Every structure is written in C-alpha cells, then in structure tokens.
Chains A and B, each alone.
Chain A
Amino acid sequence: MAVPEEESPIHKPPIVPGRDKEPAVNGAADEEEEEDDDDVLADDEEEEEEEEEEEEEQPVTQESTMRSTRARMESLFRRLSTERVPLRVHDVIVKGNTKTKDSVIEAEIEGLKHIGTVQELLQAATVANSRLHGLGIFQAVHITLESGPHELPGTANVIVEVVETKSPFSGDFGLYTKPGVRSWILEGSARLKNLFGYGDMWDGSLSYSWDQASEVSAGVSLPRFKRLVTPVMARVTLLSQDWLKFSSYKERSLGLSLGLLSLKNHAVEYNVSWRMLSDPSQMSSRSVRRQLGHGLLSSVKYIFKVDRRNSPLRPTRGYAFVSTSQISGFVPDYRSVRFVRQEFDLRCAFPLGFYNTALNFGISTGVIFPWGSGFLKTPSSLPERFFLGGNSSPVCTLGGPTSLWGFKTRGLGPAEPRREARGNGNDENSGTDFLGGDLAVTAFTDLSFDLPLRVLREAGIHGHTFACAGSLTKLTENAFRNLSFQKVRDSFRTSAGVGIIVPTKLFRMEVNYCYILKQLEHDRGKTGVQFSFSSP
C-alpha cells in the first residue's frame, strides 16, 4: 500500500542506483541537489525492494556501489531529521490521466507547490496522495521527485502519475447508516465513476430500512464545483415509509437534496421534497387525519459535529457533540411546510482503568416548532416530530433523541385513540396512534466492561449495564402554555438493564435484558430480553 509508506519516508531503504535520474550538475556540485536527486520515492517501495533483490544477485562491485549509496542516503536522512533542508518545487507534472481533467488533479495537489523544505514536500506529497486516492477514481497514484532545471538550483520537479480505474462501474451491497435515516439500512447500489472526467461519482441505490422504509435514489457528487472548495452532492430520492402499525399513516416523498458544504466539522445541505401522507387503512386518529395530504418541504439543514471518541462502536474515551439545525419554509410560498427544528447530542466516555471498563454518558434533546402566521395554533408537521423507541442503541447513534432501551419503535409519547372499529363483532379497542412530540429529551448512562473469558475478549464481545430516561411532550397548538417543569419531570419514562454486546463486521448487536422502571399509559415498553442493532 502506498499510503502508509509515505508516512515515514525517511526510513525507506536507499534508492537503487540506475533508477534515479543522474543530476546534470555543474562543477560546483550542489550537495543538496544530489541529495535531492536521491530523494526517496513517495511510494513504490515494493518495486524498489524487488529491484534490490534482483540486484543482489549481480556482481560484488555493485554491492560496494550500493553501500556507498546507502551511506549517502543515511547521511541525507540524518540531515533531514535534524535540520530543515530548503527546497522549492519548480513544476508539477501530471501524467497518466486520459479521461480525468487536469484541473481535478491539480486542485488536489495544490499544496505541493507552496513548500519550502524537503520535509514539507514529503508531507505535502503524503497529503496529496491520500486526497487523490480519496477521489475514488484512481487505481494507483505515484508521486515521484526529480531535479529541477539546471539553471535553477534548489528546485525539484514533482511528477504525479495516476492510473485510472479501468472499469467506471462498480456495485455495492451492504449495511449502512446514513445521516438523516434513523435506523440502519440494507442497501444495494451501483456506481459510475468519473463519467465526465471531473471526478464525478454517479450512483443509484435501492435501500430498505428496518423501520419499514424503502428508498430509490440517484445522486451525483463532485469533488469540486466551480468556486466551491468542498465536495458538492446532489441526490434525487423517492422514499416510501410505512408507519401504519404505529401511527396509522404512510409517507411517500419525492425529494431533491443538495449537499452544499461538507467539511470535517460542518455540513450544510438543502432539501426540497414533495411529501404525501396517506392512510389506506382509514383507521387513523383525529390528529393524524388532519395531517393527511400533500405538502412541500423546502429546508436548509446545518450540522456541526465534533467526534473525539476513540471508537464509535465501543467508546471508552473522548467526547462527541452534534448540533443539527433545520429551518423549513425557505420558499416565498406561504403554503409550504414551515418549522424550525433543533437537535443537540452530547456523548462522553471516561475510562475507569480496569477490565477495559468505561463509563458512557449521553444526553440528547430536540425541539420543533412551526413558524409563520398562526403558528401558535398550527400543529407541527407529523413526520418531522420526534419519536422515541426502537431497536438502536443510544451509545452509538448520534442522530438526535431517538433511542430508549426497552421501548418499542415509536413506543412512547403523546398518543390518541384510533377511529372506532367498524362492525359490532370486532374488538372494541382499535389501538392508539403515537403522535410523537415537539420536545424530546433522552439521557443515558452506560458502564461497559470486558467479560472474563479470553475468547470473548478477543472477539470484542463485552458486557454493559445501563440506565436511561426519556420524555416526549407536545408544545404546539398552545400546549406549551400548560407546560411546567413538574409536568415535564413527571413525563420521563425510565428503564435499566444489563446486556452483552457483540460487534460483527457489519453491525453492532446488543442482547439486553431491560427492566422498565417507569412508563405511562399507552406506552409500549416491555420488560424482558431485547435486541438492539446499530452501525457507526
């Protein structure tokens, strides 16, 4: 692999003579130039080693040449490790790209041009190599250095040679989590890479989520779009989600989402979608009936994320913070869905020093409120509300307040009785619809520890005990006027338990025994064994 080798170029074996280009030096040979010429290749150590092996079989005279070269290299490395060796890059030459535009490659290797020393050059070469690999359109990337023009001492040329992927088409099938989807998904996708030579990635995917959602989508992502320095993504999605069992409605939406900014800690995306809520069963409760119909959602979402945990699957040290802000109604049309939504997630992990034990704390809150004329009397949009419960673990999921051990999907919160059952002989109780809430708070504490058996430890299987609490309340339609701290406190449901965590290649599975400490009427919490699944 090329990338790891670049991280410590100083420790590479000396370059075999004959591979380097002989410096065309003048009489006052610049020692630095010679040393530059002997600079290590950014990668391809394997080729060097192979050649070294071949050449070991050659006569002894070559051995002595090698020894002298090695001595020179060692002195160069000593110099590099102790002092700054000045160097400038004269030219960067790109080779091997038949389809990919030069501008795409040059944008990723921009850092190579502004270096002042050999050390900086090696570092910049490492970064450039990983960025080019990150585009996902090259099979291999070689960065080599050669001496600059004779008349310009102290310069070098950088040659970037890329090998484009032969087949632009690739397919995938797997288990993923995507931001915005609350539970993990099974996805099959096909990708077309670099169709137009701009590093563009086209993909179409079919996915099925464990909360009965199916999605067909197609998207394109560009590493560069005009003046934007971050990758840009556009995606068209047709989503169908079935909540009949929990809330008596089905959701279908056709949407376009644009990822406008994607940095390490910040992301901005815009989404416009046409959403249709329907109830084929015609058994929905009054509040759900009022929301059935068409709506246009046009929203901007900003995500700020900091994740300093050592592992997303089993965090034992560090913290993570995510803030998601969403404003919808960004079209002049007053008839589109208008709301403001804010979520906060905080996770902390503290190691306790024995048996790999760690204490995890987490708190998640979310609030949604409509805006626009008459906003105090308007209910919030049903699919955008918060719902608690399900089969995901709060330790790993960072998508706002969603999970609570021991409660079924959408298993707690404001509920309303469904339509009266038809027919005299039918069961009187036709069930309840869970309507979600406008204000959600969840908190948990989790103590994870290794199990005594070595086999289990080596497999990564560990145990945990946990306790969690969650609350879901309604704020809209003037309900916030009746809210008090006492009421919010009384609305908290709590559960505790113990379990075993089995990390597999695809997902993280928990087998827990949950005990419901407090639940309210209509909640669907169950004391007993429960499975949780999550993937990072």
Chain B
Amino acid sequence: MDEANRVREKLTLVARKGCFGLPTACPSCLPVYIYLRLANVPFDIEFNLINPQADEIPYVESGDYVAYNNEKGGVIEALKEDGMVDLDSEISMVSEWISTKAMICSWLSAAVTYELWLGSDGSSAHKIYYSDLPWPVGKLLYLKQMVVAKQVLGITNENAERKSEEIYRNATFAYKALSARLGEQSFFFENRPTSLDAIFLGHALFTLQALPLESLVTADQHAAVNMLIRGEYVPRPWPCLGEAVGMFLSSCRLQLLCWICKKAEERSNHHLLHNELESSVLRSKLAEHNNLLRYADSKAHLLVAGSPFPSVPSSHSDPSSSASRQGPSNRSNFNDSGLELAKDRKILSGSKPKTKPKREKTQEERTFKRRSKYFLLTQLVGVLVFLSLLGGSEDTEDYDS
C-alpha cells in the first residue's frame, strides 16, 4: 500500500542548479536526472542553491519518502531498493555490468573531480556551486572544497604530477573499454537503458558541456558561432529597436565574436578549440571515441524536459520546475550545440595536451568565413532596403521605443 502511495505521488528531484545548457550541472546530480528520464518517470525538478557541499544532494522525494544520495549507495540504488524506479532488473547481477559501472563510478568520476576542482581555473565549479551564495561565503567554501578534493584524490604537493597522470591514464583506459563495449549499439547492455547508461551519459554530457573553457568567448557564444557555421543561427532582435535594425545589430555582434575567435587563434597560434584542450584534457580523451560521442549526442534530447524517451526531440519547452530560490536556470537556446562542439573536436582527437602544433586552415573555417561575409552583406542590404522603403516611419518607431 505504501509503495502504491509512493508511486502515486509525483517525484521531485532536488538537485543543483542548471547551467552550461544542462538541466542540472552538478556531475552527481545529472546521472539521476537522466536515469529518471530514461525510465520515463514524470518528475519535478527543484534546485538547492545554498548547500553546495552537501553529499545528500541530489535527493528524490515523494510525499514523506526521501531517497538521499548518501544512503544506500546513492539515489539510484535507493530508488531501486525501495521499488520506486528500477531499470536494472536482471542485469544487476551480470558481473561485466557491475564492473563496468564500477569503472565509471571510480575512474571517470575521479577524473571529473580532478578537472573540476584542481585541473582548471575553477570557473565551472564556481558557476555550478557558488554563484548563488554571497561572495565571501562562496569563496571560502570553494577554497575548502579544493582542499577536500585533494584529500579525496590523495593528491599532495609531492605526488601531484604522478597522480594527475594516473587519473588521466585510468580515464583513457575507461573510455577505450567503454567504446569497445558500446560498439555501434544504442545502449551498453542488452540494447536497453540501464542505470549504467544514465551514469555514463551524465558523465559524458557534463564533460562535453560543463568543463571549463579557457577561451575568449563563453561556451554559449561559441555554441552560437557553431550554429552559424551550420547555417542554423537565428539572430534575436533587440525589442527596443526596429526589428530589422535589431536583427542587424545582433548579427553584427555575432560577427564580432567570430572575429574575436579568429584573432585569438592568430595571436596564440593555436586553434581556439585547442586552447580548450589545454584546460579540458578529459574532453579531448572522450572526443577520441566517435561512438561515445555519437551515443551522447543521440541521448542529448533527454536534457530537454517534456520530451519523452525514446522519441524524436520535441521543441524546447519549459520544465515543470519550481526553484526553491531565485535560481537562474540557464537553459540557453544552444542545448544541442554543445554536442556539435564535441563533434568539432573530432579534428583534434589525435592532439596531445600541452603541445602547440601549427594547424592548417580547414575547409570548415573557410566555409565559415564565406558564409559569415554573405550573411553580413545580406543583412546590410536588407536593412538598407527596409529603411529606404519605409523611410521616416522606422525613425519614429525608434523614438517611441
């Protein structure tokens, strides 16, 4: 009766806030989100913005029932044990499944922890965990967490280099093993989703979208540039100006970004994406395996709430979420572009970190330049025509606004 009651009350997932195009950007919360989506269980998502280091988050609640992450081996295990959501029936005893899952939960998890807290400038960690806390509190907690991460990974000043190599070596092995296991299948085991898929997808999507970028533009802006390459960019008009003028200015802004990207590339003598490689070694290692990237890309629609699984991704809709605080849910329009970003890194899959090869201009860059020029020209012509035809009426609109 209790279980039936539980099932009847809708689940609520309390997780850390979303950003970088992810519904929840915390590496321990995202697998739970994806697990519930894979199971097609309707749930609400709420954000906890004030408890960045609590190991009980994420948790799932349904009425008075709560499954915390620091009990029973995690939220997913607790939900299985309590009969709430179980995708692993009959597979959970298969030894290969268990060992693969353990490999993801240990080696890949350690690699993400290292990159998030120690192997980068910490901007991603700050945005995910501390951007909604007052500055002094956030700063102190961040410093404390860096120390904790070092302790968890067993890193000291003496063994830092060795530990870093060991972590990345383990990650490389793990990706190779997973790539071999996946092959061309849709899922890792028995061609159906299990919690292993949820955990790997959470890891992969986080690695591809949230690990820090050391570039002159943000991830969202870079994703916009990529959409421009694909010809999918739709500039947003600035409502305070006439529509045509607004769109023109918006496209000019994008062109400026492209120019900045190009100049940065020329100045530093690498490709801009290669800069990202220096700050996200893990991403480059993942990018070496096309089937893993394809697999992550094919499941990216899970990040959009409201679209059931499995199905064709529906149009973007707001999630039925109620934030416990005024938490900015940074659901950009460029959700899928992050994965395109990963595809673009195919070019660099063979590159090693911390080397600076001279790179030749690719076909894609030439196409990008040509298209951007045409686009700019078209916009300019369109604006001129509009202005000349309508004349003073557009000026009046401007004055009114």
Contact = CB atoms under 8 A, between A and B. Distances in A.
17 contacts: A282-B56, A289-B14, A289-B61, A289-B66, A292-B51, A293-B49, A293-B50, A293-B51, A295-B50, A296-B134, A296-B136, A331-B134, A333-B135, A336-B134, A378-B325, A378-B326, A419-B64
A420 B325 CA distance: 25
A419 B60 CA distance: 12
Given A286-B61, A420-B65, 17 more contacts: A274-B136, A282-B66, A282-B71, A289-B14, A289-B59, A292-B50, A292-B54, A294-B133, A294-B137, A294-B141, A295-B50, A296-B133, A296-B136, A374-B326, A417-B64, A419-B65, A420-B63
B58 to A, nearest CB: 12
Contact of B54 (A293, A378, A418): A293
Interface in A281-295: 282, 286, 289-290, 292-295
Interface in B47-93: 48-52, 54, 56, 59, 61, 63-66, 68, 70-71
Nearest to A379: B324
A210 B155 CA distance: 44
A335 B137 CA distance: 10
B74 to A, nearest CB: 14
A373 B325 CA distance: 10
Nearest to B14: A289
Contacts of B325: 378
A292 B57 CA distance: 11
Nearest to A335: B134
A282 B135 contact: no
A282 B71 CA distance: 10
Given A335-B132, A373-B326, A374-B326, A296 B137 contact: yes
Nearest to A283: B66
B8 to A, nearest CB: 14
Interface size class of B (residues with CB under 8 A): 20 to 34
Contact of A293 (B46, B48, B65): B48
Interface string A362-387: 00000000000110001000000000
A336 B50 CA distance: 10
Given A293-B48, A293-B50, A420 B137 contact: no
Nearest to B326: A374
Contacts of A378: 325-326
A195 to B, nearest CB: 29
Nearest to A334: B326
Interface in B118-145: 132-137, 141
A293 B134 CA distance: 12
Interface of B: 14, 46, 48-52, 54, 56, 59, 61, 63-66, 68, 70-71, 132-137, 141, 324-326
Given A282-B56, A419-B64, A420-B66, A290 B324 contact: yes
Interface in A255-288: 274, 278, 282, 286
Contacts of A335: 132-134
| Most chain A CB inside 10 Å of its own CB: which residue of B46, B64, B68, B136 | B64
Given A295-B50, A333-B134, A419 B324 contact: no
A378 B133 CA distance: 16
A297 to B, nearest CB: 10
Nearest to A373: B326
B136 A294 contact: no
B1 to A, nearest CB: 12
Contacts of A289: 14, 59, 61, 66
Contacts of B46: 290
Nearest to B66: A419
B64 A420 contact: yes
B267 to A, nearest CB: 36
Contacts of A286: 61
Nearest to A421: B64
Contacts of A333: 134-135
Interface string A493-517: 0000000000000000000000000
Given A335-B132, A374-B326, A378-B325, A294 B50 contact: yes
A293 B14 CA distance: 13
Nearest to B68: A282
Interface in A382-424: 417-420
Nearest to B51: A293
Contacts of B71: 282
Nearest to B135: A333
Contacts of B324: 290
A513 B212 CA distance: 66
B47 to A, nearest CB: 10
A379 B59 CA distance: 21
A274 B137 contact: yes
Contacts of B65: 419-420
| Most chain B CB inside 10 Å of its own CB: which residue of A274, A282, A292, A420 | A420
A333 B54 CA distance: 23
B105 to A, nearest CB: 22
